[in-house]
Amino acid sequence: MRNISGQLRFPADRQPAAPQPILCKDFTIDPYQIYRRATIRPTLLLMLSVLDDEQYRQLSAVAHSLNMGVLTEVSNEEELERAIALKAKVVGINNRDLRDMSIDLNRTRQLAARLARMSR
């Protein structure tokens, strides 16, 4: 956890070394956070566990208007269904339960199979 410091310069000074986009893995809940990070972090994480549908729509619209990618994080079936209904382009499955920090690797197997069936 040594790199979780809230400093915007951390990924920016490493960007030239990595051709892949750097993900802004903050708890994004306000458009201001997106504008502040848009120039140095081209990909944004939006966690459905902390956002309602309207917040998600607003934040993803801001990110897309800035040509940022959006990774929509889900951790259960309900969130997965919401992600599909919200037309999320990229869905990531979090195996960690943020309430108790436990990890269940079967979560990916279950949700990925459901995602494949639902997105057909």
Residue 25 lies in a domain: no
Question: Average pLDDT, stretch 45-66?
Answer: 94
2 pLDDT higher than 50: no
In a domain, 16, yes or no: no
Q: What is the pTM of this model?
A: 0.72
Q: Establish if 59 belongs to a structural domain.
A: yes
Q: Average pLDDT for residues 10-18, to the nearest whole number?
A: 56
Cα distances (Å, whole numbers) of residue 102 to 60, 82, 94, 97, 108: 28, 23, 11, 5, 14
pLDDT value, residue 3: 45
Whether 95 shows a pLDDT value over 80: the answer reads yes
pLDDT surpasses 50 at 4: no
* Domain assignment of residue 49, given as a range: 37-118
Weakest-pLDDT range from 9-18, 66-75, 87-96 = 9-18
Q: Are 78 and 104 in contact (CB under 8 A)?
A: no
- pLDDT of amino acid 52: 97
The total number of structural domains that make up the chain? 1
State which amino acid sits at residue 18: A
